[in-house]
């Protein structure tokens, strides 16, 4: 098995120079660095990760805690995190907190005990235990998707990366209102999540923008789950004056909504129009094809990694909160005619006029 000394001899440099290239402990001239990398490749040299961590006091491993099971959006985020971590030479340990505060704290503690250099976590509805642990142990962390009220500087600040929620939700509502709908319902997510609060705010803003009154009966809580949405939509359809259009707050609730509409014999969009917050890979395969707001999951995951690496490089810098724009994906479940190439806008605004 080739050693660092073998690499040094082939590259014509010292063992210390090879170490600096591997561990990035000192700047190395570009042509010297390339000579070392070429020698490693020719000899088939594999760096010793344990030895590297002893030199740098880092494991070059990041922890990710998201409830990815059965959630296409978080699966996209996971893919973005993994890709960006590998690009920067980091491995990834993943835990699923199941959106449960106790499980969340336990999962992050276990990641920390495995000496990850930092963690990326999508906080639950009650993240106090999580935030307390991260602050107490000064774990470099980026909060993902769901924002919390946290200090912006000092030793206990947290960086945050998420998508825009309010304006894109308002755009879905005004799009439906522009098609003539006056009773537009929202199937909202779990109370306590910032994403739920922001999308409810966007729903209210959309109604106000369209000159429509808010009716509390049309705001139903679907608990961010398929089963919760099924129950919520069943309740909406039982109203004396049921909605003519629905907006769902995430992809799991979209599936529950479609199931409820089928069970009650309602056709989309002939009987009721439907728009979704969260696009997913098979949304274009439904009949009708689902009009949706698409969140940039992979981009959010990749950006979270870069923000975390910036934090590792500058632990005392002020916290940042970054919001990435969503895309309006115009299909047919809203009641618009079919289009061969659905318009897609990265500003969150519907692409093209409603037909």
| Ranges of each domain in the chain | 4-56, 61-163+297-324, 166-295+327-345
What band does 346 get if pLDDT is binned at 50, 70 and 90? very low
User: pLDDT at residue 102 above 50?
Assistant: yes
For residue 51, the model assigns a pLDDT of: 54
pLDDT band per the 50, 70, 90 thresholds, residue 16: confident
Banded model confidence at residue 338, pLDDT cuts 50, 70, 90: confident
Whole-number Å distance between alpha carbons of 290 and 87? 34
Position 156 confidence tier, pLDDT thresholds 50, 70, 90: low
d(CA 121, CA 115): 16
Confidence class for position 26, pLDDT limits 50, 70, 90: confident
What percent of the chain is predicted at pLDDT more than 70? 89
Give the pLDDT confidence score for residue 354 in this predicted structure: 32
CA 325 – CA 164 distance, rounded (Å): 6
Contact partners, residue 200, CB within 8 Å, separation at least 6: 186, 188, 219
Q: Residue 53: its pLDDT value, please?
A: 52
158 to each of 74, 90, 123, 209, 320, how far by Cα in Å?
20, 21, 12, 34, 8
Kindly report the CATH class assigned to 61-163+297-324. alpha beta
Query: How sure is the predictor about 43, in pLDDT bands with cuts at 50, 70 and 90?
Result: confident
> How crowded is residue 344: how many other Cβ atoms within 10 Å of its Cβ?
14
Which carries the bigger pLDDT value, residue 355 or residue 220?
220
Pairing outcome for strands 291-294 and 327-329 = antiparallel
As a whole number of angstroms, the distance between CA 263 and CA 112 comes to 46
Q: Do domains 61-163+297-324 and 166-295+327-345 have the same CATH topology?
A: yes
CA Rg, the chain, in Å? 24
Say if residues 276 and 249 touch (Cβ distance below 8 Å). no
Average pLDDT for 337-354: 50
pLDDT band for 297, please (50, 70, 90 cuts). very high
Q: What is the C-alpha separation between 342 and 176, in angstroms, rounded?
A: 17
- H or E stretch at 221: strand 219-221
Structure tokens at 276: 């979704």
Q: Which has the minimum average pLDDT: 49-63, 85-99, 105-119, 331-345?
A: 49-63
pLDDT at 56: 47
The structure's pTM equals: 0.80
Task: Return the pLDDT at 5.
Answer: 86
Digit-coded pLDDT (tens) for 213-260: 999 999 999 999 999 999 999 999 999 999 999 999 999 999 999 999
pLDDT at 49 over 80: no
**What is the pLDDT, as a whole number, of residue 240?**
96
Q: Tell the burial category of 110 from Cβ atoms under 10 Å away from its Cβ (0-12, 13-18, 19+).
A: middle
Q: Give the pLDDT confidence score for residue 352 in this predicted structure.
A: 39
Per DSSP, helices labelled H in 220-287 are: 226-237, 251-263
Q: Which CATH superfamily is domain 166-295+327-345 in?
A: Response regulator (3.40.50.2300)
Domain 4-56 has CATH 1.10.260.40: yes
Contact 165, 198 (CB under 8 A): yes
Q: Say whether pLDDT at 54 is over 60.
A: no
pLDDT at position 75, please? 87
User: Does position 40 have pLDDT exceeding 60, yes or no?
Assistant: yes
């Amino acid at each position: 098995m080739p050693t660092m000394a073998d690499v040094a001899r082939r590259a014509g440099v010292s063992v210390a120079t090879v170490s600096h290239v591997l561990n990035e402990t000192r700047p190395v001239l570009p042509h010297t660095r390339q000579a070392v990398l070429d020698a490693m490749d020719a000899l088939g040299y594999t760096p010793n990760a344990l030895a590297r961590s002893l030199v740098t006091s880092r494991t070059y491993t990041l922890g990710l805690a998201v409830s990815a099971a059965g959630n296409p959006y978080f699966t996209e985020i996971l893919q973005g995190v993994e890709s960006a971590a590998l690009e920067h030479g980091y491995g990834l340990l993943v835990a699923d907190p199941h959106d449960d505060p106790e499980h969340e704290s336990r999962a992050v503690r276990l990641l920390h005990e495995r000496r990850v250099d930092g963690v990326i976590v999508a906080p639950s509805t009650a993240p106090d235990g999580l935030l307390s642990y991260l602050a107490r142990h000064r774990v470099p962390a980026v909060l993902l998707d769901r924002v919390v009220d946290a200090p912006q500087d000092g030793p206990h600040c947290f960086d945050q990366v998420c998508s825009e929620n309010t304006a894109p939700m308002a755009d879905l509502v005004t799009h439906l209102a522009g098609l003539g709908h006056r009773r537009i319902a929202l199937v909202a997510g779990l109370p306590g999540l910032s994403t739920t609060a922001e999308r409810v705010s966007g729903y209210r803003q959309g109604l106000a923008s369209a000159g429509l009154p808010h009716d509390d009966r049309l705001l139903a809580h679907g608990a961010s789950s398929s089963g919760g949405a099924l129950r919520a939509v069943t309740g909406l359809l039982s109203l004396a004056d049921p909605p003519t259009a629905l907006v769902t707050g995430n992809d799991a609730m979209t599936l529950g909504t479609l199931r409820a509409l089928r069970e009650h014999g309602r056709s989309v969009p002939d009987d009721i129009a439907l728009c979704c917050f969260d696009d997913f890979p098979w949304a274009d395969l439904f009949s009708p094809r689902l009009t949706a707001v698409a969140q940039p999951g992979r981009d959010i995951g990749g950006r979270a990694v870069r923000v975390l690496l910036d934090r590792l490089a500058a632990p005392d810098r002020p916290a940042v909160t970054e919001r990435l724009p969503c895309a309006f994906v115009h299909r047919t479940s809203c009641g618009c005619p079919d289009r061969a190439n659905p318009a897609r806008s990265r500003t969150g605004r519907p692409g093209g006029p409603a037909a």
